Amino acid sequence: MTTLPLAYGRPTLADRLFTRSLATDIVLVVAGAGLTSILAQIAIPLWPVPVTGQTLAVLLVGSALGAVRGAVSLALYAVLGIVGLPVFSDGSSGFGVISGFTGGYIIGFIFSAALIGWIAQSEWDHKIWRAVLSALAGTVLTFVFGLVWLWAALGKAGYPNDLNTVLTGGLYPFILGGLVKAAIAGLIIGGSWWFIERNDRQRAARTNA
């Protein structure tokens, strides 16, 4: 079966679990968008930006799929929401979500997944502590996009958009959760690599015995 050009470079976690192929890559991209859609429904309503599980999904998808496939998966997620599927937080959808207060975070997800995926393809995430650092880097990038967008959206809507207001609405309530989600993602990704590499060593030892 033809290899999808999106799957390039060193193997990511998904490549160690599944054979690279066109069909596999399509399934993985769709599955990543689906996971993000599901975790988006785990939400704590806040104004102007709710707390959701989306960021955790982004960290896992980027690390597991790599730069391009991860970015495509999160771009697919954004497109599905824009065209009307209820995949955004609280089952919301439509272009109004993207143009609103939370749109920058959704756009940031795409770039975050690309960054984390690129780091994963350098094999940096094979250790738990490095996987956590990778997740933190992706989280920071998401907030860079989200906060700039929130500043513009608040101003456009006629709300105060000074630095303290933007940080209070779009950053401070999410710091602890962001750290926790980065730790969870690091444990899942780094722990999975530890398990895979341990099995590789055991298999090599049996072969050489």
Please tell me the predicted confidence (pLDDT) of residue 209: 64
Q: In tens digits, what is the pLDDT along the chain, a chain of 209 residues?
A: 445 456 667 889 999 999 888 899 999 999 999 999 999 999 999 999 999 999 999 999 999 999 999 999 999 999 999 999 999 999 999 999 999 999 999 999 999 999 999 999 999 999 999 999 999 999 999 999 999 999 999 999 999 999 999 999 999 999 999 999 999 999 999 999 999 999 988 888 887 76
Prediction pTM value: 0.94
Query: Which CATH code is given to the segment(s) 13-208?
Result: 1.10.1760.20
Burial annotation 58-91 (CB, 10 A radius, 16+ → b, else e): bbbbbbbbbbbbbbbbbbbbbebbbeeeebbbee
Please tell me the predicted confidence (pLDDT) of residue 204: 82
Return d(Cα 141, Cα 146) in angstroms, integer.
Answer: 9
Domain ranges in the chain are 13-208
